[in-house]
Amino acid sequence: MKEGIHPNYREVCFQDMSNGFKFVTRSCVNTKESIEIDGRELPLFKLDTTSESHPFYTGTQKSVDNMGGRVEKFRNRFGKISTSK
């Protein structure tokens, strides 16, 4: 194999900044920070959201149909307009 053409594939710690959840997986992502986990020094990559904080995965996502009847109001207002000429 040629030297210097392969990415640096290693274990990286990803941290959810909204709730502090951390997980370790292998990645090629470039990082500037590091963290110590289980006695090992790992590169740290900070995320805005993960499956631990995303509304879809946590079950806190709101359906558009349940938000004060907005969809029904739209249908009542514009449902009768015909675009055919």
**pLDDT confidence of 73, banded at 50, 70, 90?**
confident
Q: Structural domain tally of the chain?
A: 1
Grouping H, G, I as helix, E, B as strand and the rest as coil, residue 20 is coil
Grouping H, G, I as helix, E, B as strand and the rest as coil, residue 70 is helix
User: What pLDDT, in 10s, does the model give residues 22-72?
Assistant: 999 999 999 999 999 999 999 999 998 887 877 676 677 666 556 667 777
Give a yes or no: residue 15 inside a domain: yes
More confident residue, 78 or 12: 12
Q: Alpha-carbon distance 14 to 54, whole Å?
A: 15
Q: Is pTM, for the whole model, over 0.75?
A: no
Beta bridge partners, 47, equal: 16
> What domain range is 16 assigned to?
10-78
Give a yes or no: residue 1 inside a domain: no
Give a yes or no: residue 17 inside a domain: yes
Q: Alpha-carbon distance 70 to 58, whole Å?
A: 24
Average of pLDDT values for 6-30?
93
Highest-confidence range of 11-15, 66-70, 81-85, by mean pLDDT?
11-15
